[in-house]
Amino acid sequence: MRIGDVALRAGVSTRALRYYEEQGLLHSERTLSGQRTYPESAIERVKLIQQFFTAGLSSRTVLQLLPCVDTGQASPEAFGILTAERDRITTAMADLAAARDALDQMIHIAHHPTPEHCPALRETPWAPYEAHATT
């Protein structure tokens, strides 16, 4: 099957397929004229790779997990990798939630400014400049 057919049926671009090959996630054969050909199973593999990416995994991590997919046997290392990735994502979500909460507070202050939060609303510690009359 040619690259365009796989891309169409898997719902990705041909550029994505080339990237997957560069990363070692997908393999093709070459015709005498140098065109890539893939087995029918490439469609399912590409869809699986997309699921891994949707789950937030990097291509390097996917490459570590694919041997388990190929053998149908999940290793303790694979479970460790998946657990570590989940923990990384959980931490990132907590960091994003904290950033969102800080922005919510800033938005509230912007809508309801007080002298405590807005220096422009405070009394100035100096008297306004007044021109002295010279005689």
What is the CB-side half-sphere exposure of residue 64 using CA atoms within 13 A? 13
Write down the pLDDT at residue 5: 96
Which tops the pLDDT comparison, 27 or 118?
27
Q: What pLDDT does 103 receive? A: 95
Confidence of residue 129 (pLDDT cuts 50, 70, 90): low
- The structure's pTM equals 0.73
Q: Is 24 left (phi over 0), alpha (psi -120 to 50) or beta?
A: left
- By C-alpha distance, which of 5, 82, 68 is closest to 36? 5
Q: Is the dihedral of CA 46, 49, 53, 55 positive or negative?
A: positive
